[in-house]
Amino acid sequence: MKKLRVGTRKSLLSARQTELALAALAKVHPALETEIVPFHTRGDLILDKPLWAISNQGKGVFASEFEEMLLRDEIDIAIHSGKDLPVLLADGLEIIGVLKRDDPRDVLVMPKGKKAEACKIIGTGSLRREQCAAKVFPWAECRLIRGNIQTRLQKLKDGEYDAILLAKAGLDRMGITEADGYAFRVLSPEEFLPAACQGIIVAEGKRELASFVGAMTHPETQYIFETERAVLRLLGADCSAPVAAFAEMEGEVIRLRAMYGEGYAEGKAPVAARLQLAAEVVGRLRK
């Protein structure tokens, strides 16, 4: 290719994620030239409503407009957070690159010196996080918060919330640590099951680029990504639903844990049977 046109959201975190994806591509295609095409999505612009209120029939509020750009050949690939993808991709498009997963856990971010037990108001825009927080922090009330990481952290500093819930991967990618004036409580998957594909950066595009872009794919993460995405697809649950799916590799075996509403199920299977495993776990969730 002479130049690869890369679509990405207009946020600092999205820019950083795109840098990571392009760095992975450069390792396998050192001479590749790229052009970044930034874009504000509907999910970036509508900040006074929770994601579930602006989701349209399972379409990802951060991804669908990039799909239209891909189908119009205005860009060649789009870089996404795996958890922001719609349940079903547009016809003619595929996930053609999957980077190695970063830390999938959630973090309760508080002002420095504050303890979780003293947090009465927790900010989150996720129904999944709200549901998990009700069990882990039953003394606290969850209130809607939207915006990018910097906006949310500023609202925390301004005292609008006692704490906020964020993805550890996003904090790590932005280089934000407790040294910046925060206290972190990193939440294990056992107490706070992550969103499906949280911590995974992916590239979406047309099949003709699958071999070229796919050279950067991390195989184990791809298995995990496919397993967790299968849970969403089988449940018909979009990225804003109260659903969690977390898969881990244990040698040649994959372990899957999933939550939907009040339901929880888990199981293990050989990697080759990962999609059947997802179907079995979803079947238990529905009972």
Catalytic residues: 84
Q: Do residues 128 and 196 make contact, with C-beta atoms less than 8 angstroms apart? A: no
The β-bridge relationship of strands 243-250 and 182-187 is: unpaired
Q: Do residues 11 and 44 make contact, with C-beta atoms less than 8 angstroms apart? A: yes
52 contact partners, CB below 8 Å, separation of at least 6? 127, 240, 241
